[in-house]
Structure 1
Amino acid sequence: LYLSDINPRTIVNDDAIVALAANIQEHGLIQSPAGLRDATGKVGIVAGGRRYRALALLQDDPRFQIVTVRMAPDQATAAFWATSENAQCEDLHPADEIRDFGAMEKRGVKVADIAVAYGVTEKHVYRRLALSNLPAPVLDALREGSVSLSQAAAFTISYDEALTLEVLALHMEQIAKGYGGLNDYTIKTRLKPGSVKGTDRRAVFVGLDDYKAAGGRIGGDLFADVTTFDDPAILDEVFAAKLTQTAADYPAAHGWKWAEAITESYISYQFDQDRKFGKVHPVEGELTEAEAERYDALAELANGDALDEEGTTELDALQTKRNGDFTAEQRATAGAVIYVASDGSLKVEAGFFRAEDKAAAVQAGILQPSRHASTEAAPKSPISDTLRGDLDRIGIGARQNAMLDDPKLALHLLAFQLCGKMGYDRAFGVRTDEVPNVPTTETGYVLDRRLTVSDTDDRSPFNRDHAAEFAKFRKRGDAKIMDLLNRYLVAHLTSSSPDLGAMIDKLTSKRTRDTFTPTAENFFGRVNGAYLNDLWSDLLGLAADHPTVTMFEKLKKGEKAAKLESLFADPVTRTALGLSEDQTCRINAWLPEGMA
């Protein structure tokens, strides 16, 4: 026997031939190949080339050493047979294949045997078997072409046949209206609107075993290799219980006074303020001189990807010592907050003090007193956002003004920020960002000239000889250079930390009123009349029914603003009103709310 040139199938899949050989060996040759005898007496196979190739692999089996071949009477008939068999061959429809796979499985046929019988992979069989359990109407729709294979696969996630048929009916209704039916995602969503993917942080943290032990059902999409947790309520219960138990066990294991679990996936920036917690940080560790040198050497190797496992372990140990740890005193009065991150991992943020423990911690020197303003609800401020922006700029300018006289403090503060001690906060806009310190109106506002006059020139910023210019710059001398450094450094002062800002103000003896005098243009004309009435009364210390107050209230807003401006800036007005020393001091010290 040989393969005739008349046979049209010249290219075959070798793996498919091996699978066909296994099928023939298991179940026998069901259909004989067809051939034509040539002039030499040999038989050329004109139809059944795949079977011929598979039989060639089975020549060690005596059953297939002699094969029956149906002979064509002439070459014309042989050519017709060769063309007809291949042209008329039709693959089994997927719906029929699915039903047959299911029927074979119910008869007890193993998946491996089904794969051999059909010449397919076992994975293909498993996927078809998953579809075989679909309700008959779904498979009928697949056979008719109303449902695609991927849409049929989407139906497999359902345990509820009534719901499955309901969604199928909606799909068919959409097709009848010419909308093309439901897509895979919509089918899945309608069948399991509440299912949770196995990649959900709750599912990862809980795990399959604990979830199933609580009665939770597992589903999934075999075609997308996705596991679903089909009882979200049970998952939430197990998640909360496991997280709560983890928090309950944590204090005894780690020496903290308490531990609390939160269900969020992160701790917000305002968490401690919202909960009125105090916060301490680990006591920073100190390396010996030898350890510091060793740390630098190992870190350099690590940066160059040249550090071995032993060196990595040593570097980690030094880093741990350098990072420091919480003290026993801190742990005895503080606690930890435990949460599950978005990837399902357990996270712990420690060092929080509850409100009832803060006073004792402050007294013991473990916790610094809070300088945050009260977060209690306050009435709506009469100061607009635009005006608040101006007042904030004035405050920044006053702080900069005060720091100009203490360059050493400025340098110390810069070093503090640059070494990473401030986290997300910053003391200076050292990225050379513009730090606004001039309000929209400069009336009544005066900054030190060193903060307003730049040391620049009008030459092009391109193609300049930086080395030569730097050499010329250095000839100014240390004193002038340090003055320039101080000027530009302080011009970028913009501390976002309230505690640090208060400390800077105290160290520099900041006096905002040295820089800012309220006027009708920069303040009084930008708030409402009721605010001006109250301010006039408060500054003069007069009752609401005092004639000076009642006369003021009858003025137009512009007149009120002008009168208040003269009260702050005009000595003649103050003399005419006969102000006392207390009233004068109150006016000289007054600042709008929120300023210091």
Structure 2
Amino acid sequence: MTQTDSSTVTYRPVVGSLAAPREIPLSQLVASAANVRKVRAVMSIDDLAEDIARRGLLQSLSVRPVIDEAGHETGQFAVQAGGRRLAALQKLQTEGRISPDHPIPCLVKSTGIEVEDSLAENVMRAGLHPLDQFRAFRALADDEGLSVDEIAARFFVSPQIVRQRLKLASASLTLLAAYAEDEMTLDQLMAFCVTADHARQEAVWEQIRHGYNKEPYLIRRLLTEGAVKGSDRRVLFVGAAAYAAAGGVILRDLFSEDGGGWFQDVALLDRLATEKLAEEAEAIAAEGWKWVETALSFPYGHLNGLIRLSATPAPISPDEQARYDAALAEYNALSEEFEGAEELPEEIDQRMGELEDILARVDERPEIFNPQEIAHAGVFVSIEHDGRLRIEAGYIRPEDQAASTSGQASGNPTDGHKPALSCQTGGVGPNASEDADDVETETTARLSDRLIAELTAYRTLALRESLADDPDTALLTLTHALVLKSFYRFAGSETCLELDVRSSALEAHAPDLGESDVANRMSARQARWAGMLPKNPADLWDALVAFDADSLAALFAWCVSTGVNALQLPHIHRTREIAHADRLADHVDLDMRRHWSATSKSFFGKVTKSRILATVCEVKGEAAAQMIDHLKKSDMATEAERLVAGANWLPAPLRSTLERGSHALVAPSATTVEAPTQPASEGGKDASSEAVTLPAFLTEGLETAAAYPIAAE
């Protein structure tokens, strides 16, 4: 268009022609083979038909006359652009909702290339920007008053999608402007919507917009900083409903699994949990205990110096015993049937969960104490990691011990408790917490004593499981320990096996150990054995005599395994015991990668920044370490977890002797043992330098056979 003067305008001719719409009966329209759309679109023909029936046809069809072989028009028209609309209209006709003669607005073209027109119609149009869609949904909700379900029904999407789009549309205008200008991705915008606080959204955006790390997980973490996750023991104990009823605010993420959300008012949550614990404590105190202490979580070592009263499990009725036996038999049968399956069918998984509940109700039944003794003892009441009430009952303080009417207290860590996870023995107190300041000067690779104890607690439990799976090695281990005690007076430290089968407390050194898979497996194994053994110890001998050889060997292996102690503790020198634990771990091919992985919670959050960087450098190289060396320690630990994920890295205390780079100890021959140290012989030769060969009648049959099948597992 050119302007010649103030009143005269000259128009240049348009290439092609602008045809006016023409109404053509539906029966005269046919699909064109030249339509370029061959792949099925996202919206189905059924949905499109319903939309056309509701609001009519919003766009005319582009058609060409159909020409016969003689070059004459046939009266039909081929739809070159709008094939899906034609299919939807024909579906409405088939259903009797419109007639075959229903007039359809069409643009009739007689020039140009048919394929080119079809391609241009699909390529030249611009899709709606997602932000425009979000705002349109918001307008329908706010201006038109449509509900979420009504909007979902009109556009054939789920109500959850509508809620998500309304949530995105309600974000801060600053963020929406950044998204519209492509400064922010959709994933980042979704992460910001974890909170509705616009000021907080904008503050975090300003904090990260010029940085290199704008990952959605970081945005969520910054926005929920200081809040408590829905998986926290306090949340599970109090309940989201009670917290919300008290005025607490919960942040929810509509775009990813949030594990129950984030609870912002931590002080309120602590108060509600403390009040609920106090109510539970009142009911327990009514049983006659001298004292009841409550805490959300007791510190490490709170049972040190206390003695526990003897107790017996509450009796079970014949009906309960029958249900227990039936559930155990069915559980074992299902376990054997699906032993090799990668994933349990849903109905089987549900049924096994029901059976586990039946077994747990019997296995975890209350303990009965002597009423005269509980008047001198007390109870600790706290919260388990899964939100259940934790009751540690029957503990006598030193000052009350003399006043106890029984004068007896059992220190046995296995009386009704999980032997692998007992907290009923004393121990060395924890080291002081590591300084969490950003400024650190430590450059040594040495781990803290407390962390080494925690790591070796995991290793000890995994070693116990490996030994319980290997009766031959268990027999060898116990025989080795017995020979040491019988023939070598001062060689008891040459074995990691605590011969009287004490079960050293491990959870005291690794608070989260009870949540691990290996702990769950060991606890389940103990429960299965307990179900096979008589309730009355007087009947135990006859029961064991009736066991087949394989079951007896498997039970023997379990008992031996609970005595393994590979803990490395500060101020307690167990060099030889640990050396034997290494030898035992090598013998059973223990691989701690099956039982432990390096995360912010399990490792990086408990070591110094220099140790974090050294680990990342070892696994991913110096460049990766330099990428995170400027971060605060908490952020560095999170990034380190992400960087080493999948690398199967282990800290030194969890590595095999070969992986540590040291010389692996070679076990002596099965028919030789080192002689005890003796004074030098008359010839000046030290007797300890010679190996003693056992006579044939003592070594006959010692060759290891194939491993026993664990019949009871």
TM over 0.5: yes
2:661 matched residue in structure 1: none
Which residue among 161, 172, 179 is the counterpart of 2:198? Answer: 161
Name the CA distance, whole Å, in 2 between partners of 1:373 and 1:71: 90
- AA in 2 matched with 1:43: F
Provide, for residues 32-78 of structure 1, a one-character-per-residue CA deviation record: whole Å limited to 9, x for no partner: 22222214322221111221222233233238961423142316364
Name the CA distance, whole Å, in 1 between partners of 2:374 and 2:106: 91
Provide, for residues 509-567 of structure 1, a one-character-per-residue CA deviation record: whole Å limited to 9, x for no partner: xxxxxxxxxxxxxxxxxxxxxxxxxxxxxxxxxxxxxxxxxxxxxxxxxxxxxxxxxxx
8 Å contact kept, 1:7–1:46: yes
1:280 matched residue in structure 2: 309
| 1:171-186 pair list within 5 angstroms | 171-174=208-211, 179=212, 182-186=214-218
1:237 matched residue in structure 2: 271
Q: Does 1:358 align with 2:401?
A: yes
2:8 matched residue in structure 1: none
1:54 matched residue in structure 2: 88
Name the CA distance, whole Å, in 2 between partners of 1:5 and 1:469: 77
Q: Does 1:197 align with 2:197?
A: no
Which residue among 89, 107, 114 is the counterpart of 2:151? Answer: 114
8 Å contact kept, 1:35–1:69: no
| 1:319-334 pair list within 5 angstroms | 325-334=368-377
2:282 matched residue in structure 1: 248
Name the CA distance, whole Å, in 1 between partners of 2:135 and 2:31: 36
8 Å contact kept, 2:289–2:375: yes
> Which range is displaced more, 7-16 or 205-214?
7-16
Name the CA distance, whole Å, in 1 between partners of 2:238 and 2:365: 34
Report the CA distance shift for 1:191/1:21 in structure 2 as closer, same or farther (over 3 A): same
SS for the counterpart of 1:221 is coil
Q: Does 1:126 align with 2:163?
A: yes
Larger Rg: 1
- AA in 2 matched with 1:197: K
8 Å contact kept, 1:33–1:47: yes
- AA in 1 matched with 2:270: D
Name the CA distance, whole Å, in 2 between partners of 1:401 and 1:292: 47
Q: Does 1:228 align with 2:257?
A: no
- AA in 2 matched with 1:45: V
Report the CA distance shift for 1:338/1:399 in structure 2 as closer, same or farther (over 3 A): farther
Provide, for residues 185-239 of structure 1, a one-character-per-residue CA deviation record: whole Å limited to 9, x for no partner: 2222322311222122211111112111222101111101322212222212212
Which residue among 296, 303, 307 is the counterpart of 1:263? Answer: 296
Could you list the runs of 5+ residues in structure 2 that have no partner in the other structure?
1-28, 67-72, 337-350, 413-424, 430-483, 493-497, 503-539, 542-554, 566-576, 585-666, 668-672, 681-686, 706-713
Shift in Å, 1:398: 11
> Which range is displaced more, 319-328 or 50-59?
319-328
Shift in Å, 1:86: 0.7
| 1:511-522 pair list within 5 angstroms | none
Name the CA distance, whole Å, in 2 between partners of 1:91 and 1:11: 18
| 1:301-450 pair list within 5 angstroms | 303-305=332-334, 325-361=368-404, 363-367=405-409, 401=489
Which residue among 7, 22, 34 is the counterpart of 1:6? Answer: 34
8 Å contact kept, 2:190–2:255: yes
2:220 matched residue in structure 1: 188
8 Å contact kept, 1:218–1:228: yes
Name the CA distance, whole Å, in 1 between partners of 2:274 and 2:84: 61
Name the CA distance, whole Å, in 2 between partners of 1:41 and 1:338: 88
Q: Does 1:152 align with 2:185?
A: no
Report the CA distance shift for 1:208/1:301 in structure 2 as closer, same or farther (over 3 A): closer
Shift in Å, 1:145: 0.8
Name the CA distance, whole Å, in 2 between partners of 1:425 and 1:348: 26
Report the CA distance shift for 1:37/1:412 in structure 2 as closer, same or farther (over 3 A): closer
Name the CA distance, whole Å, in 2 between partners of 1:360 and 1:231: 45
Could you list the runs of 5+ residues in structure 1 that have no partner in the other structure?
377-395, 405-409, 459-463, 471-596
- AA in 1 matched with 2:229: K
- AA in 2 matched with 1:40: T
Between Structure 1 and Structure 2, the one with more helix by share is 1
8 Å contact kept, 1:256–1:334: yes
CA RMSD of aligned residues (A): 5.3
Name the CA distance, whole Å, in 2 between partners of 1:374 and 1:172: 50
- AA in 2 matched with 1:367: A
8 Å contact kept, 2:63–2:107: yes
Report the CA distance shift for 1:152/1:43 in structure 2 as closer, same or farther (over 3 A): same
Report the CA distance shift for 1:57/1:172 in structure 2 as closer, same or farther (over 3 A): same
1:212 matched residue in structure 2: 244
Name the CA distance, whole Å, in 2 between partners of 1:373 and 1:305: 40
Q: Does 1:68 align with 2:104?
A: yes
Name the CA distance, whole Å, in 2 between partners of 1:403 and 1:323: 42
- AA in 2 matched with 1:346: L
TM-score by length of 1: 0.57
Q: Does 1:16 align with 2:55?
A: no
8 Å contact kept, 1:295–1:318: no
SS for the counterpart of 2:112 is helix
Report the CA distance shift for 1:65/1:413 in structure 2 as closer, same or farther (over 3 A): same
Shift in Å, 1:147: 0.5
1:44 matched residue in structure 2: 78
Report the CA distance shift for 1:105/1:347 in structure 2 as closer, same or farther (over 3 A): same
Name the CA distance, whole Å, in 2 between partners of 1:2 and 1:92: 29
8 Å contact kept, 1:55–1:64: no
8 Å contact kept, 2:378–2:394: yes
Name the CA distance, whole Å, in 1 between partners of 2:199 and 2:693: 80
8 Å contact kept, 1:256–1:333: yes
Report the CA distance shift for 1:99/1:295 in structure 2 as closer, same or farther (over 3 A): closer
Name the CA distance, whole Å, in 1 between partners of 2:203 and 2:251: 20
Name the CA distance, whole Å, in 1 between partners of 2:489 and 2:30: 102
Name the CA distance, whole Å, in 1 between partners of 2:152 and 2:158: 6
8 Å contact kept, 1:22–1:116: no
Report the CA distance shift for 1:271/1:457 in structure 2 as closer, same or farther (over 3 A): farther
Shift in Å, 1:111: 2.7
8 Å contact kept, 1:35–1:78: no
2:18 matched residue in structure 1: none
8 Å contact kept, 1:256–1:335: yes
Q: Does 1:29 align with 2:66?
A: no
SS for the counterpart of 1:81 is helix
SS for the counterpart of 1:76 is coil
Shift in Å, 1:257: 4.3
8 Å contact kept, 1:257–1:333: yes
Shift in Å, 1:83: 1.9
- AA in 1 matched with 2:394: G
Shift in Å, 1:8: 1.1
Shift in Å, 1:117: 4.9
8 Å contact kept, 1:155–1:188: yes
8 Å contact kept, 1:335–1:353: yes
Report the CA distance shift for 1:156/1:292 in structure 2 as closer, same or farther (over 3 A): closer
Name the CA distance, whole Å, in 2 between partners of 1:216 and 1:469: 63
Provide, for residues 272-319 of structure 1, a one-character-per-residue CA deviation record: whole Å limited to 9, x for no partner: 22xx4221232379999xx9999999967764449999xx89x96997
Report the CA distance shift for 1:398/1:346 in structure 2 as closer, same or farther (over 3 A): same
Name the CA distance, whole Å, in 2 between partners of 1:413 and 1:62: 85
